Amino acid sequence: MSNSSLSDAINNSEHRSFISRIASQQTFWVFVAALLACIALTLMTDTFATERNLFNVTRNFAFIGIVALGMTAVIASGGIDLSVGSTLVISAMTVSVTMASGMPFWAGCLLALGVSLVVGAVNGVLIAYAKMPSFVVTLGMLSIARSLAMVLSNNKMIYQFGPDHDFLLWLGGGSTFGLPHPLIILLILAAFTSFAFRWLRWGQHLFAIGGNEQAAVLTGIPVSRVKVSVYMFSALMAGIAGILEVGWLGGVTTNLGQSMELSVIAASVIGGANLAGGVGTAFGAVIGALLIEVIRNSLILLGISTFWQGTFVGSFIIIAVAFDRFRQARGYE
Amino acid sequence: MSVLELKNISKNYGAIQALNGVSLTVEPGEVVGLMGDNGAGKSTLVKVIAGNFAPSSGEVLISGQTVNFHKPLDAQRAGIEVVYQDLAICNNLSAASNVFLGREPTRQFGPFQIVDYKHMQNRAVELFARLKSETRPRDLVKRMSGGQRQAVAIARALLTDARIVLMDEPTAAISVRQVAEVLNLIRQLSEQGIAVVLISHRMPDVFEVADKVIVLRRGQLVASKNASDSSPEEVTGLITGAIEAA
pLDDT at B75: 85
- Which of B40, B62, B38, B58 shows the shortest CA–CA distance to B50? B62
CB nearest B101 (choices: A200, A219, A279):
A219
Residue B228 covered by a domain: yes
**What pLDDT band is residue A110 in, cutting at 50, 70 and 90?**
very high
B178 touches chain A (CB under 8 A): no
Dist CA A112 CA A98 (whole Å): 9
CB nearest A199 (choices: B91, B114, B128):
B114
Contacting residues of B for A10, CB less than 8 Å apart: 136
Contacting residues of B for A203, CB less than 8 Å apart: 115
* Number of domains into which chain B is organized: 1
Q: Do B136 and A11 make contact, defined as CB atoms within 8 angstroms?
A: yes
Digit-coded pLDDT (tens) for B19-63 = 888 888 899 989 999 888 887 888 888 888 888 888 888 888 888
Write the DSSP symbol of residue B142.
G
| pLDDT surpassing 80 at residue A327 | no
Residue A165 covered by a domain: yes
- Which of A243, A192, A211 shows the shortest CA–CA distance to A63? A243
Residue B200 covered by a domain: yes
pLDDT at B225: 83
Q: What is the CATH number of the domain that holds B63?
A: 3.40.50.300
Do B195 and B27 form a contact (C-beta atoms < 8 A)? yes
Dist CA A261 CA A134 (whole Å): 14
Residue A56 covered by a domain: yes
Average pLDDT over residues B130-141: 82
Average pLDDT over residues B161-190: 82
Dist CA A82 CA A139 (whole Å): 6
Residue of A nearest to B105 (CA): A201
Please tell me which of A83-97, A269-283, B108-122 the model is most confident about, judged by mean pLDDT.
A83-97
Which residues does A19 contact at the CB level (< 8 Å), separation at least 6? none
pLDDT at A18: 63
Average pLDDT over residues A186-198: 92
Residue A8 covered by a domain: no
Burial letters for B200-232: b for 16+ Cβ neighbours within 10 Å, e otherwise?
bebbebbbbbbbbbbbbbebbbbbbeebeebee
Q: Do B91 and A218 make contact, defined as CB atoms within 8 angstroms?
A: no
What domain range includes position A206? 28-324
Q: Encode A290-319 in three state secondary structure.
A: HHHHHHHHHHHHCCCCHHHHHHHHHHHHHH
Write the DSSP symbol of residue B140.
B
Average pLDDT over residues A95-116: 89
Contacting residues of B for A214, CB less than 8 Å apart: 86, 88
**What pLDDT band is residue A1 in, cutting at 50, 70 and 90?**
very low
Q: Please tell me whether the interface predicted TM-score (ipTM) of this complex is above 0.85.
A: no
pLDDT at A144: 94
Question: Which chain A residues in 258-317 lie under 8 Å from chain B, judged by CB atoms?
Answer: 278-279
pLDDT at A137: 94
Interface test mutation site (partner B, options A212, A221, A327, max chain B beta carbons within 10 A): A212
Average pLDDT over residues A137-156: 90
Digit-coded pLDDT (tens) for A113-134 = 999 999 999 999 999 999 999 9
Contacting residues of A for B121, CB less than 8 Å apart: 12
The percentage of chain B sitting over the pLDDT mark of 70, rounded to a whole number, equals 98
Which position has the higher pLDDT, B56 or A13? B56
Q: Do A11 and B114 make contact, defined as CB atoms within 8 angstroms?
A: no
Digit-coded pLDDT (tens) for B60-96 = 888 888 888 887 778 888 888 888 766 678 888 888 8
What domain range includes position B57? 4-79+162-240
Contacting residues of B for A207, CB less than 8 Å apart: 90, 92-93
Dist CA A85 CA A310 (whole Å): 16
Do A99 and A108 form a contact (C-beta atoms < 8 A)? yes
A14 touches chain B (CB under 8 A): yes
pLDDT at A279: 86
**What pLDDT band is residue A333 in, cutting at 50, 70 and 90?**
very low
> How many residues are there in chain B?
246
Residue B93 covered by a domain: no
Contacting residues of B for A212, CB less than 8 Å apart: 88-91
Size of interface A-B (CB pairs under 8 A): 81
Contacting residues of B for A14, CB less than 8 Å apart: 138
Question: Which chain B residues in 141-170 lie under 8 Å from chain A, judged by CB atoms?
Answer: 142, 156
Dist CA A226 CA A236 (whole Å): 15
| pLDDT surpassing 90 at residue A236 | yes
CB nearest B115 (choices: A10, A204, A215):
A204
Interface test mutation site (partner B, options A219, A224, A225, max chain B beta carbons within 10 A): A219
Digit-coded pLDDT (tens) for A215-235 = 888 787 889 999 999 999 999
B90 touches chain A (CB under 8 A): yes
Average pLDDT over residues B144-155: 81
Which position has the higher pLDDT, A31 or A268? A268
CB nearest A215 (choices: B89, B112, B113):
B89
Residue of B nearest to A274 (CA): B92
pLDDT at B196: 92
- Which of A306, A191, A170, A317 shows the shortest CA–CA distance to A246? A170
C-alpha angle with apex A294: A292 to A299, nearest 5 degrees?
A: 95
Average pLDDT, chain A: 84
B137 touches chain A (CB under 8 A): yes
Dist CA A104 CA A259 (whole Å): 30
| pLDDT surpassing 90 at residue B128 | no
Residue A19 covered by a domain: no
pLDDT at A6: 53
Contacting residues of B for A25, CB less than 8 Å apart: none
Cα-Cα end-to-end distance for chain A: 37
Please tell me which of A28-32, A93-97, B147-151 the model is most confident about, judged by mean pLDDT.
A93-97
Which residues does A210 contact at the CB level (< 8 Å), separation at least 6? A75, A76, A77, A78, A277, A278, A279, B92
B93 touches chain A (CB under 8 A): yes
Dist CA A98 CA A115 (whole Å): 12
Do B89 and B151 form a contact (C-beta atoms < 8 A)? no
Do A92 and A255 form a contact (C-beta atoms < 8 A)? no
Backbone angles phi, psi at B114, to 5 degrees: -105, 155
Element (H, E) at A71: helix A51-76
Residue B18 covered by a domain: yes
Dist CA B223 CA B41 (whole Å): 14
pLDDT at A19: 64
DSSP string, A192-249: HHHHHHHHBHHHHHHHHHHH-HHHHHHTT--HHHHHHHHHHHHHHHHHHHHHHHHHHH
| pLDDT surpassing 50 at residue B103 | yes
Question: In the structure, how many helices (H) and strands (E) does chain B have?
Answer: 8, 12
Q: Do B104 and A204 make contact, defined as CB atoms within 8 angstroms?
A: yes
Q: Any alpha helices (H) in B66-167, and if so which ranges?
A: 72-77, 95-99, 117-130, 146-159
Q: Inter-axis angle of helices A51-76 and A260-270, to 10 degrees? A: 80
* Number of domains into which chain A is organized: 1
Write the DSSP symbol of residue B94.
B
Predicted TM-score of the model (pTM): 0.82
Dist CA B210 CA B189 (whole Å): 12
* Beta strand segments in chain A, E: 175-176, 179-180
Average pLDDT, chain B: 84
Digit-coded pLDDT (tens) for B224-242 = 888 888 888 888 888 887 7
Digit-coded pLDDT (tens) for A290-303 = 888 888 888 888 88
- Which of B98, B121, B104 shows the shortest CA–CA distance to A200? B104
Dist CA B158 CA B189 (whole Å): 8
Helix/strand/coil for B189: helix
CB nearest A11 (choices: B73, B106, B125):
B125
A2 touches chain B (CB under 8 A): no
A39 touches chain B (CB under 8 A): no
Q: Do B136 and A10 make contact, defined as CB atoms within 8 angstroms?
A: yes
Residue B107 covered by a domain: no
**What pLDDT band is residue A2 in, cutting at 50, 70 and 90?**
very low
Instruction: Tell me the sheet residues that pair with B35.
Output: B215
Average pLDDT over residues A45-61: 81
| pLDDT surpassing 60 at residue A331 | no
**CA distance readout (Å), A152 to A97, A116, A158, A270:** 8, 14, 11, 35
- Which of A250, A272, A253 shows the shortest CA–CA distance to A197? A272
Q: What is the CATH number of the domain that holds A165?
A: 1.10.3470
Dist CA A11 CA B124 (whole Å): 10
Write the DSSP symbol of residue A154.
T
Element (H, E) at B215: strand B212-217
Q: Do B125 and A279 make contact, defined as CB atoms within 8 angstroms?
A: no
